[in-house]
Structure 1
Amino acid sequence: MIKDNQKYFNRLHVLVDALVVAGCYSLTWFIRFKTTLGLMLFGHPGEYLPPSQYFVVLLALVPGYLLLYFAFNLYTSKRVQGRRLEFGNIVKANTIGLFLLVMILYFNKQMDFARSVIITFYFINIVVESLVRNLIRVGLRKIRKKGFNLRHILLVGYSRAAEEYIDRIKSNPQWGYVVRGILDDNVERGTMYKGVKVIGRIDNLLVILPENKLDEIAITLGLDEYSKLERIVGLCEKSGVHTKFIPDYNNIIPTKPYTEDLLGLPVVNIRHVPLTNTFNMMVKRAMDLAGSILAIIVFSPVMLFTIIAIKMTSPGPLVFTQERVGLHNKNFHMYKFRSMEVQKPNEEKGCWTVQNDPRVTKVGRVIRKLSIDELPQLFNVLKGDMSLVGPRPERPFFVEKFREEIPRYMVKHQVRPGMTGWAQIHGYRGNTSIRKRIEYDLYYIENWTVGLDIKILFLTIFRGFVNKNAY
């Protein structure tokens, strides 16, 4: 049974991490001071500190890093935690550890302590820690394929949530989950879904739970049976078995709902929007101001060349303004370099640009393909109409159309629209699926962090500027 062995595995994992941190630090010291490679890369260290002054740091370094690993959830189950998420948490923990170590050395006036040791340890520890954890992951998966280290689960309630849960378990056998069956009062015993059978009624819990052969109970009741929820939870908790609740309304509640405590009353907000927090808004606005000013300076030669090219090849204004819907459903005028022949407003109001569109000028085709026509929006960012990163804004005509056709479409207007976004770096630009675009926009809105914005800006360089869907 997993519950008998998990605590020992976690303790062993902590011990392994302690050895990794100590080993990587020792290896770094050895490379720096005892090898030709260290001297070639970093030169002579000048005044040597005795080894004892380097290794006494381990007394704080090892427990400090273990605490950081706990803080970044690196000791949670590896069954459903992805490799990229784990690697990201390793990098975050080590980065904070690096800054703390530098600060401690600075305030203790350890000026002769070789900074090259700290920096080299940072990179070596990330690589080795990631390698060790991936080896553990591979080892666990091999063990599970042989029938060991499995987590046995019973589902209570046959519903859409139960089917979706089984779907995910069946498509990810490496998680090591085994669904032993389903209990339900309304579905006939023996009913099967993808090899999982309805084995009885919910009252059978009274017999099954005392046998203590389960690792988890997953409550997957249908919406019309939630009156039974309190009794089922009471039975499960009395037995001591780990219990989780999988709601049958995931099409309404997002994957990360925001829960708040109202004097002991739990309140679930339908959608968690981090950017409604004042501090988060101030941080993002500061990034927008600094980033847009820097980008205007960097791209000013490109913008000047574009202005000259438009002026010489096509009569009409240099900058095209178009009404778009922004934050809180308020309209604003978005700027773009003009890439089309001048049209009457009613002609372009409700039309998408299509491939080989005759309205696009020769210069326009180039600047649209390279997204240069979007650069004037940096001034929209300065004004506060837009952000560097966010959902792309649409024209009022399309907003009115999509709000009726696409569920949750209007949620995107809870944040400032952006020059680039999570949907755009995944290829959803121009004449692509609006529904998929909204899925990516909602993910961004609910999962916003400074790091995610930086990641999107970085990936825009490789995926966002040149776009096959920009006609």
Structure 2
Amino acid sequence: MLMTLLDIETGHNMLNEQSKTFILFHFIFDLILVAFSWVLATYIRFMILGSDFGNFVKFLRLTPIPVIVAAYFLFRERYYSRQTLHSWHREFSRLLMLNLKIQIFFILAGYNLQSDRISRLTLVLFFIICQISLILNRVIFRNHIMMKMIKGEMNHKLFVIGHGPHMDRFIEKVRNNPQTGMIISCWADSMGAAEEMKLNSCKYEEIDAYIEKLKPQSIVIGYSGSKMSKQDKFVKSHYNQVTPIILIPQVNYALIGTTIEDFLGVPLLYINKPSENHLSLLLKRIIDVGGALFGLIVLSPLFLVVSILVKLTSPGPIFYAQERMTANGRVFKMWKFRSMRQDADKEEGFTWTVENDPRRTKFGTFIRKTSLDEFPQLWNVLIGDMSLVGPRPERPELIEGFKDEITGYMLRHKMRAGITGWAQINGWRGNTSLEKRIEFDMYYIRNWSLTLDLKILLLTVFNGFVNKNAY
């Protein structure tokens, strides 16, 4: 919510004039790094790995293309407006998306402007060098800005008006995140909350005098319930002034974030809409398909061994299909290696597996403990029912019992179900707290990025397969 509030106008940066100048230098240096990356990649390809000065000069002429593309996307997607509020994995994910866009547009433009085919090795080198350079520059810039904000050298003064749970949450976020650079100059009409938190306070009737005296860089106003009329009255009398006004909307049950869109001049506020874009989702799907194919091919000998052992150790089929729910509430058949007696569900009904479950076979106990029984779900990933990473799918019969008891339970179906997930690598799997699992699923959906997916996959490889709660 905090990042959404600060991102209302392109021109209203939370940084002061000194830092805006620094941002300009940072932008220029980003473009220099993009140019440098192409020059270095071309030099390595044609001068170090070969001795082709002619091609080196020929492809060197293409340098302005990635620079122009980078400049367009850096400003269009506002890579400098709120960096310090992003988590590291989201920041790196945004840089990865930027780099991919540069590569795609560069390839399209290069093939149209250059008669010779662009060396694929040069493109790979360019991608790697560019990604490393941009990340290093971002780390240096981010640390510089954050240190100045923490020291109070780049403050953004806020004049806060109103009270209610949404305002309390905003104040808490501001106070607990000094790296944002925001400080509260005064809090009007706080109903005593300002005094309790030892913040400067003023009466509602004295707002204009304090604004004139303190000259804040933004005015933040938010009321709840019947007091909303005060907010409307203030905006009506102050909308025509130069100081930006930020409204904190009263949005209940927005558990996985909000998105503001413009519909023909009419602002629309979406609640519980994941912050994702089509290109990111396309890349996630490409990674899913590539990872599933790779896993099915590489693990095929292991699949054969497990299949034989399942068949030898208990009568019945090798695989077991169970209905589960994925994105948008769609029901699909999820595949597993069978780890229980045949028709165990029909005998016991739909229940979770518990420790020392008598329905398990001897070999089934082993493959459940080591998560080998989950590997056939790579087929579900390949055909689009699941993703490599996402909230773990549950059975429709159990969902009916949970959806009205646990707040936000159905929101986990805003994204495609996964073989592994943020809750699972943090130990919340099997017969553990369902509330905690939902909490971690909500965190994953709110903060989703390709980098977070990669982090979860790596953690799954190193410590996510064997778990004490996998019965």
Question: Relative to structure 1, is the Cα distance of residues 340 and 103 closer, same or farther in structure 2, using a 3 angstrom cutoff?
Answer: same
Q: Does 1:313 align with 2:318?
A: no
Whole-Å separation in 2 of the counterparts to 1:215 and 1:264: 26
The aligned amino acid for 2:144 is G
Whole-Å separation in 2 of the counterparts to 1:343 and 1:18: 63
Equivalent position of 1:45 in the other structure? 51
1:360-399 matched pairs, under 5 angstroms? 360-378=360-378, 390-399=390-399
1:289-438 matched pairs, under 5 angstroms? 295-325=295-325, 334-342=334-342, 345=345, 348-378=348-378, 390-413=390-413, 417-438=417-438
Secondary structure of 2:83's aligned partner:
coil
The aligned amino acid for 1:374 is E
1:182-261 matched pairs, under 5 angstroms? 182-184=187-189, 187-188=191-192, 191-193=195-197, 195-197=198-200, 199-211=201-213, 213-252=215-254, 254-257=256-259, 259=261, 261=263
Question: Relative to structure 1, is the Cα distance of residues 217 and 250 closer, same or farther in structure 2, using a 3 angstrom cutoff?
Answer: farther
Equivalent position of 1:69 in the other structure? 74
Question: Relative to structure 1, is the Cα distance of residues 348 and 375 closer, same or farther in structure 2, using a 3 angstrom cutoff?
Answer: farther
Question: Relative to structure 1, is the Cα distance of residues 89 and 410 closer, same or farther in structure 2, using a 3 angstrom cutoff?
Answer: closer
Equivalent position of 1:10 in the other structure? 23
Question: Relative to structure 1, is the Cα distance of residues 153 and 128 closer, same or farther in structure 2, using a 3 angstrom cutoff?
Answer: same
Whole-Å separation in 2 of the counterparts to 1:288 and 1:126: 22
Whole-Å separation in 1 of the counterparts to 2:270 and 2:427: 31
Q: Show structure 1 runs of 5+ residues with no match.
A: none
Whole-Å separation in 2 of the counterparts to 1:220 and 1:368: 51
Whole-Å separation in 2 of the counterparts to 1:399 and 1:332: 14
Secondary structure of 1:105's aligned partner:
helix
Secondary structure of 1:239's aligned partner:
coil
Whole-Å separation in 2 of the counterparts to 1:7 and 1:284: 34
Question: Relative to structure 1, is the Cα distance of residues 237 and 79 closer, same or farther in structure 2, using a 3 angstrom cutoff?
Answer: farther
Query: Scaled by the length of structure 2, what TM-score is found?
Result: 0.80
8 Å contact from structure 1 (residues 47, 112) kept in 2: no
Q: Out of 60, 73, 88, which is 1:83 matched to?
A: 88
How far 1:397 moved relative to its partner? Answer: 4.6
Whole-Å separation in 1 of the counterparts to 2:282 and 2:43: 45
Secondary structure of 2:54's aligned partner:
coil
Once the two structures are superposed, residues 251-278 of structure 1 have per-residue CA deviations (whole angstroms, 9 ceiling, x without a partner) of 34641336462x654443433268999x
Whole-Å separation in 2 of the counterparts to 1:149 and 1:138: 13
Once the two structures are superposed, residues 35-67 of structure 1 have per-residue CA deviations (whole angstroms, 9 ceiling, x without a partner) of xxx63xx2x23463474x454333334333222
Once the two structures are superposed, residues 216-263 of structure 1 have per-residue CA deviations (whole angstroms, 9 ceiling, x without a partner) of 2222323332122223234443331122222343534641336462x6
Equivalent position of 1:20 in the other structure? 33
Q: Out of 98, 110, 113, which is 1:105 matched to?
A: 110
Whole-Å separation in 1 of the counterparts to 2:430 and 2:387: 19
Once the two structures are superposed, residues 436-455 of structure 1 have per-residue CA deviations (whole angstroms, 9 ceiling, x without a partner) of 32234345566777887777
Whole-Å separation in 2 of the counterparts to 1:173 and 1:274: 25
Equivalent position of 2:182 in the other structure? 177
CA RMSD of aligned residues (A): 4.0
8 Å contact from structure 1 (residues 49, 112) kept in 2: no
Question: Relative to structure 1, is the Cα distance of residues 384 and 170 closer, same or farther in structure 2, using a 3 angstrom cutoff?
Answer: closer
Whole-Å separation in 2 of the counterparts to 1:318 and 1:407: 37
Whole-Å separation in 2 of the counterparts to 1:137 and 1:412: 32
When structure 1 is superposed on structure 2, of 379-388 and 249-258 the one drifting more is 379-388
The aligned amino acid for 1:18 is L
Whole-Å separation in 2 of the counterparts to 1:27 and 1:344: 62
Question: Relative to structure 1, is the Cα distance of residues 349 and 390 closer, same or farther in structure 2, using a 3 angstrom cutoff?
Answer: farther
The aligned amino acid for 1:270 is I
Once the two structures are superposed, residues 273-297 of structure 1 have per-residue CA deviations (whole angstroms, 9 ceiling, x without a partner) of 68999x9999988987787666555
Equivalent position of 1:168 in the other structure? 173
Whole-Å separation in 2 of the counterparts to 1:84 and 1:418: 19
The aligned amino acid for 1:124 is I
8 Å contact from structure 1 (residues 2, 215) kept in 2: no
Once the two structures are superposed, residues 168-207 of structure 1 have per-residue CA deviations (whole angstroms, 9 ceiling, x without a partner) of 223222222211221117x1486222x324x122332221
Question: Relative to structure 1, is the Cα distance of residues 463 and 223 closer, same or farther in structure 2, using a 3 angstrom cutoff?
Answer: farther
Once the two structures are superposed, residues 334-367 of structure 1 have per-residue CA deviations (whole angstroms, 9 ceiling, x without a partner) of 4432223456546532543233444433311221
Larger Rg: 1
Question: Relative to structure 1, is the Cα distance of residues 266 and 375 closer, same or farther in structure 2, using a 3 angstrom cutoff?
Answer: same
Whole-Å separation in 2 of the counterparts to 1:255 and 1:65: 29
Higher relative contact order (CA 8 A, sep 6+): 2
How far 1:459 moved relative to its partner? Answer: 5.9
Whole-Å separation in 2 of the counterparts to 1:463 and 1:131: 29
8 Å contact from structure 1 (residues 209, 239) kept in 2: no
Query: Scaled by the length of structure 1, what TM-score is found?
Result: 0.80
Secondary structure of 2:391's aligned partner:
coil
Q: Show structure 2 runs of 5+ residues with no match.
A: 1-13
- State the aligned residue count: 458
Equivalent position of 2:62 in the other structure? 57
Give the fraction of aligned pairs with identical amino acids, expressed as a percent: 34
Whole-Å separation in 1 of the counterparts to 2:348 and 2:184: 56
